[in-house]
A = this chain, B = another copy of it.
Amino acid sequence: MSITTPKGFLAAATTAGIKPSGNPDMALVVNEGPEFTAAGVFTRNRVFAAPVKLSKQALADGQLKAILYNSGNANACNGERGYQDAVASVEAVAEQLGFASEDVAACSTGLIGEPMPMDKVLAGVGELTGSLGDNGSAAAEAIMTTDTVKKEVLVAGNGWQLAGMGKGVGMMAPSLATMLVCLTTDASLAQDVAQAALKKACDLTFNTLDIDGSTSTNDTVILMANGASEITPSVEEFEAAVLQACADLADQLQGDAEGVTKRVKITVQGTTTNEQALNAARTLGRDNLFKCAMFGSDPNWGRVLAAVGMADADMDPENISVYFNGEAVCEQTTGTPNARNVDLSGADIDVLVDLGTGGPGTAMVRTTDLSHEYVEINSAYSS
């Protein structure tokens, strides 16, 4: 199964030589129609890459025929030259496939501020357009950067299918490399339905992943729908499928986050609003001391209190409760007798924080630990 499993999608992958490692680094996904409905969700970073600018323009009419991917170079912070390089790349795709260039989007991931090696990129485009086929899995591999495994998903609808591929570690907070996701479906969809479903699913999945608080200049999630199944699912049915696909990919992304040894789910409740709960969950999920404690399987709940005490959320500072893996370690802002004995040695850690106001606000965020491996990977990326 891959993004070319739904009817009417083709893909190709190649090694263009953008990555010094010599691993595959370019991919192309083509929608053969009959419909060309497309939806997208992009990074919120105000410093965004040239391909993000180009893809937003391409998606303005809600239609796409192809997406060109490359890894190894983010094409971010390259000024006007970067934008012209992105334009030249999609124009080459469009010309070779007989598309209008505004029907081609582009997604890049890799080092920021390095000009694109356009000779290699354009040669790669030639390879890609000449080798389109049922190569979705090869495409999923070609978009990897520090990912250790490719991420794919397939959801079966009633007579239609939805597939996806992804790389990176999370929309709100991807680590050094961007999160890119491509979803393909042969369902027939109105554009507004597709866009709404994608936005909703992103909010509930990728946007709850917060690995290190950093947000890439290149994050892009694009869905293409071609109606080749001749079936229009109900809005509910389609939204459920997109949510399922995104949740599955988000799990894969979290599990493969850089240097991760623990998957940590943080739930905050007992504050006034969901937004406040999210603030508190994010504050905790980004706290290095907490994340180091998780790496050490250390039930140091004091760090949970120290972190949430700084969050922009209503709380009763003398009535905060903390649970690790369902066991109360802190009640009324005071440790329970067995707090230090809770076993956090497993790979999954569940943290529940009740801020004690009795309010209805609640939110969930997923993060990881902070490990030696994270520092190692991220201390010598560009050199």
Contact = CB atoms under 8 A, between A and B. Distances in A.
Nearest to A313: B46
Contact of A287 (B214, B298, B333): B214
A379 B287 contact: no
Nearest to A335: B113
Interface residues of A, number: 68
Interface of A: 44-48, 74, 76-79, 81-82, 111-114, 175-176, 212-217, 286-289, 292-293, 295-296, 298-303, 305-310, 315, 317-318, 320, 330, 332-335, 339-340, 370-372, 374-383
Given A215-B306, A372-B375, A298 B46 contact: no
B47 A112 contact: no
A214 B82 CA distance: 38
A213 B372 CA distance: 19
B47 A333 contact: yes
A330 B113 contact: yes
Contacts of A293: 378-379, 381-382
Contact of A380 (B44, B298, B379): B298
Contacts of A45: 306, 309-310
A173 B56 CA distance: 38
B296 A379 contact: yes
Nearest to A382: B300
A112 B339 CA distance: 12
